[in-house]
Amino acid sequence: MATVRDISLAAAINIFSAFIFLILFAILRLQPINDRVYFPKWSFVTKFVNCDFKSYLRFLSWMPEAIKMPELELIDHAGLDSAVYIRIYLLGLKIFVPFMVFALCILVPFNCGGRSLEDLKDVTFSDIDKLQYQMWHLDQRGLTYFTLFIIILPDTLPVLGPFGNGLCFSFWTFYVLYKEYKVIAFMRLRFLASERRRPDQFTVLVRNVPPDTDETINEHLEHFFCVNHPDHYLTHQVVYNANYLSKLVEKKKKIQNWLDYYEIKYSKNSGKRPSTKTGFLGLCGKRVDALEYYTQKLERVINDPKAIMPVAFVSFKTRWGAAVCAQTQQSSNPTLWLTEWAPEPCDVYWPNLAIPYVKLTIRRLIMAVALFFLTFFFMIPIAFVQSLASLEGIERVVPFLSPIMEIKVIKSFIQGFLPGIALKIFLILLPKILMTMSKIEGFVSLSTLERRSAAKYYLFILVNVFLGSIITGTAFEQLNSLIKQSASNIPITVGVAIPLKATFFITYIMVDGWSGVAAEILRVKPLIMYHLRNTFIVKTEQDRQQAMDPGSLEFASSEPRIQFYFLLGLVYSVVTPILLPFIVIFFGFAYVVFRHQIINVYHQQYESGAAFWPDVHRRILYAMIISQILLMGLMTSKKASDSTPLLLVLPILTVWFHVLCKTRFEPAFVKFPLQDAMVRDTLERATDPAFNLKAYLHEAYIHPVFKNDNIEQPAAMDEEESNPLVRTRRSSHNTASGPVKHGFEFGS
Amino acid sequence: MATVRDISLAAAINIFSAFIFLILFAILRLQPINDRVYFPKWSFVTKFVNCDFKSYLRFLSWMPEAIKMPELELIDHAGLDSAVYIRIYLLGLKIFVPFMVFALCILVPFNCGGRSLEDLKDVTFSDIDKLQYQMWHLDQRGLTYFTLFIIILPDTLPVLGPFGNGLCFSFWTFYVLYKEYKVIAFMRLRFLASERRRPDQFTVLVRNVPPDTDETINEHLEHFFCVNHPDHYLTHQVVYNANYLSKLVEKKKKIQNWLDYYEIKYSKNSGKRPSTKTGFLGLCGKRVDALEYYTQKLERVINDPKAIMPVAFVSFKTRWGAAVCAQTQQSSNPTLWLTEWAPEPCDVYWPNLAIPYVKLTIRRLIMAVALFFLTFFFMIPIAFVQSLASLEGIERVVPFLSPIMEIKVIKSFIQGFLPGIALKIFLILLPKILMTMSKIEGFVSLSTLERRSAAKYYLFILVNVFLGSIITGTAFEQLNSLIKQSASNIPITVGVAIPLKATFFITYIMVDGWSGVAAEILRVKPLIMYHLRNTFIVKTEQDRQQAMDPGSLEFASSEPRIQFYFLLGLVYSVVTPILLPFIVIFFGFAYVVFRHQIINVYHQQYESGAAFWPDVHRRILYAMIISQILLMGLMTSKKASDSTPLLLVLPILTVWFHVLCKTRFEPAFVKFPLQDAMVRDTLERATDPAFNLKAYLHEAYIHPVFKNDNIEQPAAMDEEESNPLVRTRRSSHNTASGPVKHGFEFGS
C-alpha cells in the first residue's frame, strides 16, 4: 500500500510539472510571435518579442480573464457547443464540492475529539473487519485523520449508514443533474430561437428514394413532395455519389477543354465546322461534327444516372413544413422515403449519404460485434506484436542484426521501450479507429459521428481503464472470471477491490488530470509545428494562416475522459472520500483552462446546439448506477449485508430518474416543436416578406466538390412559380443574368 | 420418471374428455334453443329442439365449415383483430410442423436399422453422460425409438451438432416470423386503406393542455390549433372529468326539473313571475326571480371549469392534417400539448384521460415495482392464507368448530381442498389484477390496456409456470438461488432440469391445451348462465338479447397462454422433440376451434387493426432467446462445452433479427404514413366533395354519459366559418333549430 509519503511525492511532482507548464505558457503566450498559436481567434500585432517585463509578473492573469467573459457572450463568441461543453466541468464542481465539504465537515469532530482509529475500531470491529478496514485506507498511520464516519457508520449503524449516505449523495446528484439538464434545454431552445436564418432550418434529408421506371430521381422527388406536401414544398437538391464525383468532375473538365478548343477553332475559320472521330483518341471511328459531339457528351455526363444517389436535401417554404416532414413517416413502407432533419451544411458527412438503408442494419451488427471484440480482446493482437518486438522476436526475424542488439544501450532500449510502444500506438490510434467504426455504421453528420465515437470510447475506458485497473489482468480474463462467478459475487469482488485502488487512481488523476490539463494549455505540439512550418514553408500571409491549425474540443475523445472522473468521483465518494479533493481540483483547473481555450484558441467545425447533452447526462447516470451496485457489493462483503436490499432502492430510483429526464427534456434535443417553427415563420414573414428563400437555399446543400466549380445542376422543375425578385434561369437563356446585362450595357 | 404407460394413460384421459366435450357440443349446438349461445352472430329461428337426427351424425361437420370461410371474408365478418389473432395458431403450425417432420424423418433410419439406444450410447457416451442421457428421456425402454439424432449428435459431433440444429431451427423460425410479419403488416395497411370513413382517422387526442389565465380551455385549444395548424384544424371536443361527470349530470337534471317546474308555473299564471329563495331548500335567504336563478345556475354547471379536463379530441379537415399533428411535437415543453392518434370512439378508456402527465411516470414506477413483487413474491400472502385455511388454523380461530372438524369427510375436505383454493382464486383473479394495474398505469385505450396486461401476464407465466415448474420451489427461492449462483451456471442449472420436466409439460399440454380448448367450444359457463337467465329473468326479446354475453377473445389472458406453447415448443424442439406432436395437435385443434368461435360467437368490443402483432412477434423472439440460452447451458453441462461460444452466435442473430423486423415492419403498426393519408383525402374529395365532416365528427367523441343526454356542449368558436349544410347554432338563438321552427309553424 502506498503511504502518505508516496502520495505526497506524486502530488509534489505533478504540481511542480503543472506549474512549469503554466509558467512556460505565461511566458510564451506573451510573445506576439506565438499569437497565432495561443490566440488564433483574435487579430494580430506584428511585434516578435514582448519586452514589457511587468506583464511577465502577472503570469496567472489569464485565469480571471478566462472566467470573466459572461456566458451569453461566450455563446456568441464560441458557439453553444463549446459553452455547454465547459459546463460539464462546472457540473463536476457542482456535484463534488458539496460531497467534499460534507466529508470534510464530518471529519472534524473525529479529529478534534482526538480519538484515533484504534479506539473506534475496538468498539465495533471484528478481526476480519480490522484487516479489511486497514486495507480500505491509504495508510493506517498516515491517514488516520481522514478516516470517515462514512466508512465507520456502516458498522455502527449497519443498516441506515450507507443507505443514508448513498441516498443523500444520489439525491444531490439528481438535483444537480435535473437542474443542469433544464438549464441546458432552455439554453438550446433559446439558441435555436435566436439564431439567424440557416438553410438547415428549412431542409430535410430524404434517403432511400425508390427507383421509378418512368421518371428520373429528380422528377420522382419533385412529384412525390408536390403531391404529399403540396403547400410547403419548395425545392430540392439531389446528392451525388462522392466516389464517382471526382471522376465526373475530371471528365467534365476535359470535355469542356475540348469543347472550348473546337469553339475557338470554329470562330477562327468560321466557314468550316470542325469535325472529330468518335473512336480512340479521335483517330478512328465515324467522323462527326466536333462541336455537337462534345456538347452532347457534356450533357450526358451531367445527367449520368450513376452519379445521382437516391438521396436528396428537400427544402420547404416554411420551418413548419420542414418540421412536419422531418418528424413524419412518408410512405407505408418504412424503409423508403426516410426523412430526417438535415444537418448543418458544414456538418454533413458526405460519403455516408450514399449508403443504402438495407446495408445499414448489417453494418451496425458487424460494428457492434467488432466493438465487443475490440473492447474485450484488444490485448491479443497487441500481445502478439509485443512478442515480435522482443529481443528474441527481432533476432529470429532479422538474425544479422543480433550483433547490434548485444550493445547494452540498444538492448535495454528494446527491452524497456519497444514492448510498451505497441500499446501506446494503439491507444493513440484508438479514437481514430473508433471514429472509423462510427463512419462504417453510416451516420450522416459529423456531430453524430463524434457522439457515437464518444459512446464507444466510454465503453472502452470503462472496461479497460476502470475495471481493468481494479481487477488486474486483461479484460478477457476478467470477463471470464466474472462470468464464472456467482451473479451476486461480481459486485462484491469489484466492490472489495475498489478501496485498495484508491492510491492508484489518485496518482492517475494527478498525472492525467492535472499535468495533462496544464500541458493542454501550453499546446506543445501546435507550438512546435507552427514554428517549424513558419520557418521552412510559409511564404505568404495565406500560408501562415494555413500553417496554424487552431484545433477543436474533440468531443469524441475528451468527453469520455471527463466521464471517467465522474465515475471515479461517484464510486469513491462514499468509499474513500479522500479522492474527492483531487477530483475537485481537476474539475476546477480544467474548467478555467478549457474556458480560456475556447475563448482564444479552438475553432469548432460545426454547431450542433449542444445536441450531445443527453449523452453526457446518460453516462453520468450510468456511473451512478455502477457506483450504487458496487456500494451494494461492498456492503454485502461487510457485516452490513442487511442494508443491501435497502440499497437496491437506489438503482431503481436512478433508472426512474433517467426515464423522467428522458421524457421531460430529451425531446428538446431531438424533436422540433411546431409552435416554435410557426412563431419564427410568422415573425419572418412580417419582418422580411420579400426575402427570396429559394435563391438563398439554391446552393446551400451543394456537394463540396461542386463548390468552386460552375457545373450546371439539373434544374428543378417548379421554376414556373412566379418569383418576383430574380429572373428565372429559363428566361435568361441558361446564362447568369448579371454578366449578360452588363454585356448589353457595354454593347449599347 | 413417468413411463410411456403413464403418458399414454394421461393422453387417453384427455383425448376422451376432449371427445366428450366435442360430442356434447355437437348435440347442443344443433338445438335451436342454444343458438344464442353458439351462434350469437347470426339470425335465429324459433324451434326449440332439433329433431333432424341425420344432422347429429355429422357431429364434426362444424370443423370444415369453420375452415372454409376465406380470410378476406373473415376479416369483413369478424374484424382484422380476430382474423390476425387466429393466425397466431397458424403461425405455431407453420413453425412446429416442419420441426416435427424433420425430427420424425431423422428418427426413421435409427428405427429401421434396429439399433437400440444402448448400442449407440456405448460408442460415445461416458458413464456420467449415460446417466444424464437416460434422464433426458421420458423412459429409456419405452421411448427408445424416439431418441433423436438431435440429442445424439452433440456427442458424436460435439461442436457442430447442436449449433447446426439450433441454426436450422432458428433460421426456419426467422423465415416464418419474417414472412408472417410482412403479411400482417400488409393486411393491416390494406385494412386501414379499405376502411370506410371513421372519426378516429381525423382526430388526435391532445393531453396536458396548459392552463391559461385569460382564456378557458376551450378558447385556448381553439387558438393554439388555429395558429399552429391553420390550414387543417377543424374542431375539437373537450373531455369531461368522469368522476365529476355523474354528479354533474345529476345536478343538471335536478336543476332542469326545477326550471321546468317554474316555467310551467309561470306559463299558468303568466302575470306573476315565480320567485324562490337562494338559501337552504329554498326556505331562507334572499328572494330572487326563480326562472332567472335556475337558468343561471344551469349555465354555471355546464361551464364548470372543474368538470372540464385539460384534454381534448381535436379533429382536422383532412387525414393528412391529423397524421401530421399526431406525429409531431407541438410545444417546446415536451410535457405540454401531448398529441397522439385518437383511439376509436368505442376503444377509449375514459377514466384515464383525466390523469395528469406528471403523475403518469410515478404511477408507472410504482406499478413496475408492484409487478416485480407480484411476480416473485405472490406466494407469500397465499401461503399465509393457506396456513390459516389449514386444520390447525381454523381450530385456533374458531375453536367451537373443532368437533365438526373431526368428522372424517370434512377433515379430508379441508386438508385436501382448502389449501389449494386460495391459489386457485388468486389465479382466477390474476388477469383482473393485472388489468387493474394497467389501468392505474394510465393508458387511454382498451386495446392498449389489453396489450399491457398481456405483457404482464406473460412475465408471470414465464417466471411462475415455466421456470417455476422447472426449478421447484417458490419463485422467490428460485430467485435467491439463481442470484447466489454463478452467472454462467444459471443456464446450466435450468438447462439440465429441462429434459427432466418433459413429461410434466406433455401432461400440461394435454390438460390445458387439448381439454381446455374443447371446453372452450362447449362454452359451459355462458350456456348455463344463459339458460338460467332465460328461465328466470328474461321477459322481452330485448332482455333475451342482453342475457347472452357473446364474450370476446380476451387477448390479455389468452395470448400469453399461446405464447407459453411457443416457448415450450422452441425450448424442447432441440432437447426432447417428442413434445412437438402434442404442441402441433394443440395448435391445429385450437386454430379450428377459435376460427369457429370468431365466426359464430365472439363479439369484439373494438378494432385495433392488429396493433398487437409487434407484441406477439417480440414475445416469440424472447422465447427463442430463452431457448437458445438454455441450449447453451445444456451443452456446457455436457461434454460439448466447446460448442458454447459458437452457440453465442444464435442469440446475437436473434437480437439482430428483432432490430431488423422492428425497423422494417413496426412503423406500419405505430405510425401513419402521409402518402396514404393524402391518397385517401384526395380520393374522398373527388368522390364526395359535399360531405359535411364537421357534422359527422360533432358527436363522435362525446363522453358516453352524454350520449343519451341532451346536455348542451360549449360551442366551438369557429362557427363563423361558412358551413353550407347546417345552420349554425348561433343563428338559431341557442336553441335547437328544429323545434323552434316547428313552433313557429304551429304558431303562425
Per-residue pLDDT band at B298 (split at 50, 70, 90): low
pLDDT in tens, A515-528: 888 877 777 777 77
Q: How far does the CA of residue B185 sit from the closest CA of chain A (Å)?
A: 10
In this structure, the dihedral spanned by the alpha carbons of residues A571, A576, A582 and A584, taken in order and rounded to 10 degrees, is 60
Q: Do B678 and A483 touch (CB under 8 A)?
A: no
Q: Based on the number of CB atoms within 10 Å of its own CB, is A736 exposed (0-12), middle (13-18) or buried (19 or more)?
A: exposed
For position B467, what pLDDT does the model report?
Answer: 79
Q: How confident is the model at residue A487 (pLDDT cuts 50, 70, 90)?
A: low
- Across B158-172, average pLDDT: 67
Q: What is the mean pLDDT of residues A67-74?
A: 82
**Of A320, A485, A675, A680, which to mutate for an interface test with B (greatest number of B Cβ within 10 Å)?**
A675
Q: In this predicted model, which residue has the larger pLDDT, A271 or A703? A: A703
The Cα of A571 is separated from the nearest Cα of chain B by a number of Å equal to 23
Q: Which of A227, A329, A659 lies nearest to residue B361, judging by beta carbons?
A: A659
What confidence tier does B565 reach under pLDDT thresholds 50, 70, 90?
Answer: very high
Residue with cell 448489417: A362
* pLDDT tens digits, B83-93: 999 999 999 99
Examine the pLDDT at A176 and tell me if it is beyond 90: yes
Q: Average of pLDDT values for A454-466?
A: 89
Q: What is the mean pLDDT of residues A663-679?
A: 85
Q: Of B482, B487, B675, which has the smallest distance from its Cβ to A485's Cβ?
A: B487
Determine the Cα–Cα distance for residues A95 and A170; give it in Å rounded to an integer. Answer: 10
Range in A333-337, A730-734, B529-533, B608-612 with the lowest mean pLDDT:
A730-734
Residue with cell 343458438: B35
Which of A658-667, B116-125, B167-176 shows the lowest per-residue confidence on average (mean pLDDT)?
A: B116-125
Query: How many C-alpha atoms does A42 have within 13 Å on its Cβ side?
Result: 14
CA distance A227 to chain B (A): 8
Look at B675 and A337 and tell me if their CB atoms are within 8 Å: yes
The model's pLDDT over A685-740, given as tens digits with 9 standing for 90+, comes to: 888 888 888 888 877 887 776 665 544 444 444 443 433 333 333 333 433 333 33
Determine the residue of chain B that is closest to A661 in CA distance: B361
- Residue predicted with more confidence, A316 or B27: A316
Interface touch B228/A674, C-beta < 8 Å? yes
**Do residue A656 and residue B229 have CB atoms under 8 angstroms apart?**
no
Please tell me the predicted confidence (pLDDT) of residue A348.
87
Q: Which residue has the higher pLDDT, A587 or A64?
A: A587
Query: Which residue, A605, A516, A530, is CA-closest to A37?
Result: A530
Asked whether the beta carbons of residue A332 and residue B189 sit closer than 8 angstroms, the reply is yes
CB-CB neighbors (< 8 A) of A486 in chain B? 483-487, 489
Q: CA torsion angle for B408, B412, B413, B414 (degrees, to 10)? A: 110
Please indicate whether, in this complex, the C-beta atoms of B486 and A482 are within 8 angstroms of each other.
no
CB proximity list for A682: less than 8 A, separation 6 or greater: none
Position A742 confidence tier, pLDDT thresholds 50, 70, 90: very low
**DSSP conformation class of A340:** E
| Residue-level pLDDT at B286 | 65
Cβ <8 Å between A484 and B485: no
Chain A residues closer than 8 Å to B365 by CB: 652, 656, 659
Q: What percent of chain A has pLDDT over 90?
A: 12
Between CA B548 and CA B412 the distance in angstroms is: 39
Question: Which pLDDT score, from 0 to 100, does residue B672 have?
Answer: 82
Which pLDDT does position A289 carry in this prediction?
65
Q: Say whether B663 and A335 touch across the interface (CB within 8 A).
A: yes
From chain A, the residues in CB contact with B488 under 8 A are: 483-484
Which residue from A331, A361, A666 is facing B660, i.e. has the nearest CB? A361
Measure in Å the smallest separation between the Cα of B675 and chain A Cα atoms.
5
Burial code of B478-493, b = ≥16 C-beta within 10 A, e = fewer? bbeebeebbbbbbbbb
- pLDDT > 90 fraction of chain B, expressed in percent and rounded: 11
pLDDT in tens, A144-161: 333 444 444 444 444 445
Give the pLDDT confidence score for residue A298 in this predicted structure.
Answer: 59
pLDDT exceeds 80 at position A434: yes
Torsion on CA atoms A446, A447, A453, A457, rounded to nearest 10: 140
For residue B391, pLDDT beyond 70: no
Min distance B266 CA to chain A CA atoms (Å): 53
pLDDT surpassing 50 at residue A66: yes
- What are the percentages of helix, strand and coil residues in chain B, rounded to 5? 70, 5, 25
Q: What pLDDT is stored for residue A271 in this prediction?
A: 55
Most confident of A100-109, A406-415, B163-172, B486-495: B163-172
Position B734 confidence tier, pLDDT thresholds 50, 70, 90: very low
Residues of B with Cβ-Cβ distance to A476 under 8 angstroms: none
The tens digit of pLDDT for each residue in A278-335 reads 655 555 666 666 666 666 665 666 666 667 788 889 999 888 999 889 888 888 888 8
Q: What is the pTM of this model?
A: 0.76
More confident residue, B223 or A404: B223
**Mean of pLDDT values over A38-48:** 60
The pLDDT of residue A113 is 38
Q: Which residues of chain A are within 8 Å of residue B665 when distances are taken between CB atoms?
A: 334
Q: And the C-alpha cell for A226?
A: 408536390
> For residue B365, what is the nearest residue in chain A, using CA coordinates?
A656
pLDDT at B728: 34
Could B332 and A676 be called an inter-chain contact, meaning their C-beta atoms sit closer than 8 Å? yes
In this predicted structure, the answer to whether residue A88 has a pLDDT above a threshold of 90 is yes
Question: Cβ separation of A663 and B335 shorter than 8 Å?
Answer: yes
- Under 8 Å between Cβ of B656 and B302: no
**pLDDT-based confidence at B456, cuts 50/70/90?**
very high
- On average, the pLDDT of chain A sits at 74
**What percentage of chain A carries pLDDT values higher than 70?**
65
Smallest Cβ distance to A487: which of B327, B328, B485? B485
CA distance B429 to B474: 19
Gap from B583 CA to chain A (nearest CA, Å): 34
Band of pLDDT at residue A68, cut at 50, 70 and 90: confident
Examine the pLDDT at B461 and tell me if it is beyond 50.
Answer: yes
Residues B426-451, mean pLDDT to the nearest whole number: 90
Give the three-state DSSP class for B314: strand
Question: Which range among A129-138, A179-188, B305-314 has the greatest average pLDDT?
Answer: A179-188
**In this predicted model, what pLDDT tens digit does every residue of B198-216 receive, in sequence order?**
888 889 999 888 888 888 8
